[in-house]
Structure 1
């Protein structure tokens, strides 16, 4: 028995020694060093906060006094919170309108920029700039000024003889500037679409031309089907991004008028840092995660009916 135990121990020691040698290998060490910032950041700013958020969602916590465990009371409260229901509806409307508009515009511009034109790279870079600065506070303030009562948009309406619009005072109109600023940040989707368009073989178009197909037919019969996996990727990424929209509503409208632009993320923020109700905000955050996961699942589930594959 002792002999078997010693043999087993030596095997374990040898295995551990082998693992340590593999870990200390120069190539592995370099990999660990370069991946360490991401791993530390992922643990410190994603995993650990998620664990704490899950715990706080079952508590009454105002960030000042010690938390009190209340079970599922925060989740039950969501069913009777009318402002929560409205923020969810407002967010779903925003996602349902802004994402298709953004993707359509990105695909349109990408299609134009993949044609043989001079300065193609310069134009592509210029169109990508809004995506780099579009989510900033400064741009949101500029956008707010553009759509103000005496802003550029209303001045243009006056010039053409139309009545100026109270963009941020009308519940039916307040969402439009926010959708437009989202569509304006189409650069990242455009770059991905452009890369996908360049991967489509020209031989397909040449064969279609020989068969007498026009440009519209080639776009819907060749371009869109072959680009459908790229469309699926952009659709999922932009849907997730739209659900987390916050800066536009926070800076431009503050959620008004009458909660017409009170996005889900803004409502979570207000409960956490304005009303000091961190427990309730944490519960809403987890419900948001479930909603985003469910919608992403539905998109993937039904993508097989419109996404082209080689299978």
Structure 2
């Protein structure tokens, strides 16, 4: 079999390809690489402008930073498993061909589009006030009103519930993966006498293991960068119980004007996210291969 020889078209320079991707290269340098490097350099500058790791030492010894890191990990640990479970459950319910099912799929996806806009925040604040709808419903079943905004142990769940409500994007990914599972597998399992529950654990979950990992990583990264919801709903209170690392960076940069500390914390957050993703990859590697 003769090998195919590539011939350059007449009038086309060998640098044409490079010229076509040049806008992307320039954009990447100006808007990704340059800010990335500048942020690292600024993070090394202390108050006197000298370069060093004093900012990082001060941050690690700051009790406020340790508290925000603990809040961020706590928030992530609560939100991500719940969001994956709810998203998968709803995706399973919507993975059927019924009349008007597209309306339900759209309705469940809409909260993800709304995000933490002002209308949603006002609604959420009203729901959890002392006389809000949640406490009114609790009163109907005989449970005393809960001080959601005044209790440090409960305030974080307001943010978790808001983000849990916005499960649409994760649900869509699961739904697309479910629709790619061959129906022949379920038919064969049914012939062998396998019920719905066994089929879920022996067919559905194994087929979704890579998609579950992708959603796990994406949602973990998003949760560890959380800023909007706690900033707009609780302001980080009470007693810093909902103050995340993202809010710490914002305060250092825009409230105290400390660019060095803000950029240093940003790099610490970047490092933490990278470490968590690597750990997730290592811990789930065997499960994804089996």
TM-score (norm 1): 0.84
User: How many residues end up aligned between the 2 structures?
Assistant: 279
Q: Which runs of 4 or more aligned residues in structure 1 lie more than 3 Å from their structure 2 counterparts after TM superposition?
A: 20-24, 38-46
**5+ unaligned residues in a row in structure 2: which ranges?**
1-11
2:96 maps to 115
Q: What SS does the aligned partner of 2:152 have?
A: coil
| 1:10-89 superposed matches below 5 A | 18-22=13-17, 28=20, 32=21, 36=23, 42-60=28-46, 68-89=49-70
1:247 maps to 228
1:296 maps to 277
**Does the Cα contact within 8 Å between 1:225 and 1:308 map onto a contact in 2?**
no
Deviations 1:50-107 (A, max 9, x none): 222111111135xxxxx61241000111221111111111100110110110111110
Are 2:194 and 1:213 equivalent residues in the alignment?
A: yes
**Distance of 1:135 and 1:291 partners within structure 2:** 25
**Distance of 2:289 and 2:193 partners within structure 1:** 23
Are 2:255 and 1:269 equivalent residues in the alignment?
A: no
1:160 maps to 141
**Distance of 1:68 and 1:122 partners within structure 2:** 58
Residue 225 (structure 1) aligned to one of 200, 206, 212: 206
Q: Is the alpha carbon distance of 1:22 and 1:85 closer, same or farther for their aligned partners in structure 2, counting shifts above 3 Å?
A: closer
C-alpha displacement at 1:130, in angstroms?
0.7
Larger Rg, first or second structure (1 or 2): 1
**Does the Cα contact within 8 Å between 2:46 and 2:52 map onto a contact in 1?**
no
Q: Root-mean-square deviation (CA), in Å?
A: 1.9
2:5 maps to none
Deviations 1:244-263 (A, max 9, x none): 11011101111111111111
Are 2:145 and 1:150 equivalent residues in the alignment?
A: no
2:288 maps to 307
C-alpha displacement at 1:152, in angstroms?
1.2
Deviations 1:203-225 (A, max 9, x none): 11111111211111110111001
**Distance of 2:286 and 2:192 partners within structure 1:** 27
2:7 maps to none
**5+ unaligned residues in a row in structure 1: which ranges?**
1-16, 62-66
Q: Is the alpha carbon distance of 1:82 and 1:200 closer, same or farther for their aligned partners in structure 2, counting shifts above 3 Å?
A: same
**Does the Cα contact within 8 Å between 1:226 and 1:308 map onto a contact in 2?**
no
